Structure 1
């Protein structure tokens, strides 16, 4: 329950919802949620049915669109269209920017190609220079290889010679050994010969011995016989001899004693002499040791001298090498100083050139900035002028189209335009529609009734009218209408009946003009009525009548015309503006030529900017080249200074080595002279050792000693002889005694021997034959030895000649080997120099980025051609072209991506617009079908006839309106605006009920919607409303009994003493059974 209270003092309203106080805004929001606000179709005020009945087709479509909220789609579409325009503008800007970038890319591609060609040439030159270095390395290696091969061959030859020498020496040793062997063989042969001779002699001896033995045996036997006889005799002699010997021994003993006395004296003399000799020998040995030491020192000094000679020779050779190295370093240092001076001068020149180029670049940049400002100003002016030109072109085209249309159609607008130019000449006061005004509520009526005269000329007199007619005929103007005021003044207004309530009055009463007679002339005979029916009925009575809705009926109802919203087409202004348009066209032509001139100026400025940009890029390229050259020169100067420092240090080192070598050489020479002097002094000391006198004395003492020793020896010998003889005598005595004994034994032995000899004789005879054969063999061997000894001397002479030849060959080979060793040393030095050069070239090759040798081919011609092309490109190269190209390409890709994004955005916007249009169409179609179906059903239930909606333009529902077609029973179908008042009201009410089906509300408030219905239609409408009240609450203000009879709750309002009184009545059908019973009991 919603309640409103008004405070007495302030008059402000207080709102309550279910007896709880709420604000008005909260209450309105709640009502809007349930679609129960006053701005919806649920509250139908007085006159609303009339306004709905007067709606044209466009208004019907708009009211449906407002109900279903299609403005939301239009807003979305407008926003999307704005976004689409913005997207198109950004896409155009992006495309223009892409075209500019593409032109820039085309320009940069050539510079980039030059730069890439420059880098390619640089790399090719580097590569071919590396090939040239590789070729040099190969030639060097070939030379090195030949040198190594020569060295190897020399070493091999030296080894061969050494081997040959060794072989010769071994051969010589072999020959010597063979010679020695030959000599030894000769000795062996001699010894063999001697052995053979010995063997022969032995054999001969054996043979002879055997013979002798045999003979001896034979004689022995005889001797034994004789011996035995002689033994007896000998025994007697021995006994006699023993007696004699004993006497001799006694004599010898006396001589022995004398000799011992002499020997003791000589031995004492010998002892004294020996002591003297020992002293002299000691002195001689000391002098010998001194001489041996001096000789050893002399030998060592000679060795030192030889070593010093060798060291001096080596040092002199080193000094020669160091001097050559110092000269080479001095020349290299001088050359580096010259290069450094030249490079520094070039460096200063390049720095000066770079500074001047920087100044030029700054000047060019300032010029480019000024040109860009001019370009921006011109572009702004051109854009403004172009927009103005476009707007003016659009304006002129629009008016020219209108004028051309009017001229082609040959309407009265042409005549109006022609004559209005001379309005003063022809006394033209103006056109009718310009001279009259009317009430806006009756505009359709005025336009329907006066449509033929709205473009008529109003002139002051008939004479002016005739002049206009003659001019029109002469100039073949289209039809025209002229109203002279002098005739209009005589026209009287027709009679219009005023008893009918549907007759509003004369239409002239609602039209005003400064020319008071003109409305009477135009509309004085036309009656203004409320409804078309009344107009028709009045026309049947002989009057010209027009309804408020614009239906015009001629007298007697013979013809009828209707105007439901037409306007007065006025092309006169466009035709009058034709001359101004021509002038504007000429101005536009001049403006266009001026724009073209400005565009030419802009193109010239753009060309100047491009030229300046190119000059700037060229100068930047030159600056980059200068910077690169400056960097290279700085690097070269730094490297040369570094090399100069190294060479200076090497020079100092070499000179210090040379000085140290000189000092060392002087020291060696000084030492050599000292060693020579020392050798002379040692030799003199060796010669000055005085041991001659000592040797003489020693010789005399030794002679004396020898004499003493001789005397001692003689005495000893005599003593020994005496002792020996005494001993011999004693021995002989013993022998005699033994002899006697042995003789006894001998006799027994002889007996045994005699037996043995007889056996030996037989055996010796047997061995005699074998000895004779062996003797013959040995004699043959002896003869062979004699023959071979004869050839040994010749062989020995041959060996001597071979040894001499081999020694001569060995001397030649040694000489050749020494020469080869010298060549090997020289070749080794050349190989070391070549290896050093090869190492330097390989370092150069590695600095070029190559670890291995490149393929060998002739590159001198290629390097010359590439160098020429390189120098040609170098003058115009832009070293920043590749970076700029990459940046521009990245920018182009970015712009392409942006363009693709913009195209995608535009496509999505277009799709969104299409979706909005499709959704809008679907929503509208759905709402249209819903209203149409509800309209058909409700109209059929109420009237028994047919009503439906038709779209004027089925291809585009929103470009046209919606017609409400109505066909009552027994009548043809017509558009709702052509119906009578009651029919129009009925159609409007049912159309309103159909519209309410789009947005159902919980309650509906209607104010006398049945006021224009007859009883039958009122009853039918009340039934429909009663049926709808089942789902919605219907509140209705009505004066019709049929409608009141259907209400469930009735409120009556009447005035009493100036105060409104309310009467409430509830229909019995609305009471429950319990309420009726309680009411009956109460009564």
Structure 2
């Protein structure tokens, strides 16, 4: 443990110009002496040596008062050295003793610091002392009056002291930074809400368009439904026809069934005759069957006879095999018995070898146990080395942790320096900008003053001009009053004709272009308009108009050159959209081959087949890619196959079914003549224009006068506003300049303050870096010591023992292997012996089985020989019977002819009935065809119904009118519909959801920051409450020991710890608890002392300096306090100045201070038994 080992003082305060050496030890060291003897100067000297720079802290008014003889300029030198015991390397230096020396000369008043005799800076000294919590201005130095100041602390100041000790300012910095981030997060969230508001407006707009789109789709759905009702009505009509045809068909089926029944009766009679004929044939065949049975029996007997003979031969062969096998079995049994005798001898030899190997293996295991004992002994030595290494590594870890803490502090200091630099640079820029703004503002003020004078002069001139213009305007109005009525009547008549022409001109833009270009048909080689040059079959007019709707008003010209000339003219005149077809391209056009639709009754043909023109290639060019079909369903199916199809009703389907156009009766409008007539109306309008020019000139003069009056009035108003604005701006600039000139000195002062702060921060950063320089060598020394731990000898010995152990283990393994091999061989021999025994048993069993089988086979052979003789006798008798049946068979031909005649008559009658039935079947077939056609028609109608989305028939109703009304509304809505409204609405809604997600993310980020702030507050509170608990516990224990009473800390605001202070409630024995500030003087001192001791326990220091902390205590409390100090000095060093005998008596080392000729003298006494001071021999003290 670091503690003060020695103090050397020269020329400091009451100590003269000779070295005074004071030796210190651990434990409680007491310094006593009369008042004014200089005992407290010992503590001041220690404070001076460790860097204290406050004269007030060393109880003087100025540094010059620290010199012993301030009036003698020749002896103005102070030198104080403090030596620390550093055996445990608490101070990061590889020295057992660390000496700090401070010298100060009277001439310059500057101090020099030395560390073990080498000059260093004060910062280096401070850094070393902070490592062990021994720097000045800490709670380990308790000066005179400090107890009194602590006793007067209010609750807020007590809380701040605890905060400063545990370092809670770090949490406040983190909280301030987090609050800045929270402010930024709030701003981002506001922006997100604003953008969401804009998107919400767009959603409302799209929702209206989407409603129109949904209405459009709803009308389409209703149209489909009404068309489905129409199809349902047609299906019912077809089904009625189908029912009538089905009824007729059922009548024919009934007549056909009667005829079929008659045919069945005739066929049954024929079958009866056929049966009788077959029965007769069976009787004839009976004799033949008997003959066949005899033949079958004969064949079976022959088969049995042959089979018996074969089995007899097999039995004889088996008897021969058994007789050969029985001698072989006897020879095998003898060979196995001989082999078994040899294997038994081998087994006995191997069993003896197994016993020998087991004895050798037991000896090897005994040697292995001895070697393992040696391994454990060497391992214990290595473990001790490992413990020492672990201890050094733990110390290195603590020093590394200190280094990391210093590096973090240095990093925070660098960040503060950067922030300070940024603020200083920003302040300099702002200062320069402000000065520039002041100069610019003064320049603008001068310009505004000149502008004011000029504007006032121009205002007076404008007022004079207004008066003159007012007189001119009155004269012109009188002249125009009569002319206006005549011009109005003429204009009304021209407007009537112009409206008629305008209606024709603006009814269709294409007609306007046609009318304009028709004037120059010869110039541009125009042959005509398509609808004038082609003719078509009236039956397919709707299909033709639907297929060629876009080209019916196209120009037909001679060649491409004419087309380009028209296009140039149209571009020059800005004519509306038009189409042009050059005949030379039409002549070269070849339609692409299309699929043949033979056999498809729904396909009528290509549209070009029904269109005619004197230009033969023109119909092919316009209509060859369109196919005419009979209904919309067929057109839709062809479109799905890639064709352009149109129904005869004018329903056009583009390839792949991508789009559909309907034309149920449109006509080709021709407004060209009306537009040409409009040219005359325009000429009339031109004449009216020329007629009104005379009046317009007067109006122009009047307007000019009015405009000049309005301009003059505007100029007057503008000048008045400008004058007012300039006056306002001049006043604002004046106020702004005054305010900025006032701000300039403040900003300059702020810049200087930031510069001073930057210097202080740089000094602080240098201090941290020097501390790092001191700590790094310590880490290196610890690393060197770790490397110096040599456990190689023990490890080498362990390796040798392990080698011996491995050899023994190897020999034991080899012996085990050999034992296993011998055991395996022995087991093999025993297995073969068992196998031979089983084989002998099997041979004996086989011999018995073969003997029994031989007896059975001999008996079976005799039985089969007797059976064969019996079968030969029976076969001879059957062949004699077969010859008798062949001789007795007769002739049945005449009976069979009679049956044939009867069957022929019945078959003729059956043919007549069958012919009538066939006629009825043909009629039924025609009816079935009609039914099939009606069924097919019904199926097509049902398919159309399904295509519309309905699987069952709808209720009948008249829907023609509803379909027309809905179609009209459908077209009206179609003109204003936005078909992408729903898609856009979905996209914008997705964007809105994305923005909502982003808002949620921002809210999450904000909540995270809030949580982080709450965590900081929580950690700060936890650290404070931990320190609060430690101080409170120490106060309770110490106060109880000191006074026998009770004392505790209590928070003023437990809900918000940092919004209130910390109260010290004290209850002396026999008294009620009161706040420490409400106690008497002596009680305050006791409470403050206890509070101070508790604060010191938060950050323990290796040594404490206390100057008369027991001065205001009575004898009883002094005695109790001294006991507490003695108890605490077991773990650290307490150097205490005191006048109380009870305190001095308990000290292990006592220094007495007394004055002699103005110089403090020091005597030392060691109190081995800590006896009362009265028993101390004064002579012994003097001798020391």
- The answer, yes or no, to whether TM exceeds 0.5 is no
Q: Using structure 2 for the length normalisation, give the TM-score.
A: 0.29
Q: Using structure 1 for the length normalisation, give the TM-score.
A: 0.31
